Structure 1
Amino acid sequence: MAYSSTKAANLNVYIQGQGFPILGIHGHPGSGRNLSVFTNHLSKRYKTFAPDLRGYGKSRFNGKFEMYDHLTDLEALLDRFEIEKCLLLGWSLGGILAMELALRLPQRVTGLILVATAARPRGSHPPISLQDNIYTGVAALLNVIQPSWQWNIETFGKRSLFRYLIQQHTPTAYDYIAKEAVQAYWQTSTTATSALSTALRSSYNRLTELKQIHCPSLVLAGEQDRHITAQSSLETAQHLQNSQWHCYPNTAHLFPWEIPQQVLGDINCWLSLHPQVVGQ
């Protein structure tokens, strides 16, 4: 991933807590608020920063840009808040950017928590039908009006594209979808989508560069993830120098919303084993 020469965008950022800084990076489509499952928990002990990336959420941006422009923006955010060192947590696209930032700024990144992501991302998503799109639209709309309505989950949710994003159609997962996913989808700009599509067409692959990352890494995956397969996440974990790997059965790409307590518990355990990543 080349480095940008464009001027950094001033990102909207959600800040919680006090203590060692943790920078959370969301996926596509998404916003900083999508990381609340992590930041609400971690901010009890640390200071969390969850920006809306350029072209997402409230970080509006006019004009085209490329994926590497996000790195310029994130480095500028660290400078803006005078963050000398931080732990990075990235979900999906955010995990890719976290690895890129660790390659770009190795002295400033103490550790990586990589969620449903890969340095050579591969998917196994089936073709999308018109019925898929219709059921997804209806399921999403009804879920916003009445979150976690069991009739909607059974009638539309399990037949919609949600079935590839989650495996456990629980009220907890649908509550997160209602509160955070739908708004983030509508706030994701076409230029952000175009930048991601261009990067994916270039057959992105940074596996060989991962040996340059020496900080501890926690790699988490959903066994049934069709967007970024668990196998590609495992491949990433195997190429990292100092990594721990967890794969959760009967979950998919949005597994932190399916089994939040289990995921947060595993993060807590990893942090206790690697206190240096939070400056201890």
Structure 2
Amino acid sequence: MAFGQPRIEYKSNSEILKMREAGLVLAEALDEAVAAAKPGVTTASLNEIFGKVLERHNATSNFLGYHGFPANICASVNHEVVHGFPSDYVLKDGDVLKIDGGAIVDGWHADSARTVLVGENIDPEDKRLSEITEQAMWAGIAAAAKARFVGQIGEAIDDYVTSQPGDELGILEDYCGHGIGSAMHMAPDVLNYNAGHRGPRIKPGMALAIEPMLVRGDIETSVLEDDWTVVTNDKSNASQWEHTVAFTMGGVWVLTAHDGGAAGLAPFGVEPSPILP
């Protein structure tokens, strides 16, 4: 490790299993929040639903209180990209909602996000945006299973997005994935684009949150007066998808997917390699 670079945390098998526990609680909490995200429902109510699942499993939120953040989840609607506050905003038919949440079990963290297309009257371009963002995430995870360096994840995400037919989508460069483990945000950064450098070497015991954020328009963003909510300057809609991924001796294990990532990785010819208790 070069002098001055943040230290990367490498987990033992038992620590990764604890992260898997947090990941499964988080997946359940997101399932319930996503299922409840319908027209007429407030984003504040989704925050409550999410929190009750954590309480049921004696887990805690790693978002609530993080640098003063006031909620269990980020709820970002339409041109809000990330870090939106749950509020009395009432979801409308056609909204593009991003729910980003985290869970802690016995000191070990998991982080995951999903895009929800609310209601029935969905703009086909918003549907395309979400689908490409989700598949770009899986392309990055699949590449990570065979990659030697973290930078190859961003290259794979970039290659997938830019290869898609239709209108060009923007990949946000100011926000990225990250290491995760005994804290929610750790080294290394996981870029979602081809930055031209390889980054640190991927090793067993590493865990990363891989989270591409795509927009239908320009990638320039601003932060609102709440000092959290990130919005696109041109008001174009955004999508975010995220999973926490652990690296084992056999490959990758998607800790925040119920099936360990099997379904998402299958189209890329990759199988998850879980650590069995």
Q: Same fold (TM over 0.5)?
A: no
TM-score band, normalised by the shorter chain? under 0.3
Q: What TM-score results when the alignment is normalised by the length of structure 1?
A: 0.27
Q: What TM-score results when the alignment is normalised by the length of structure 2?
A: 0.28
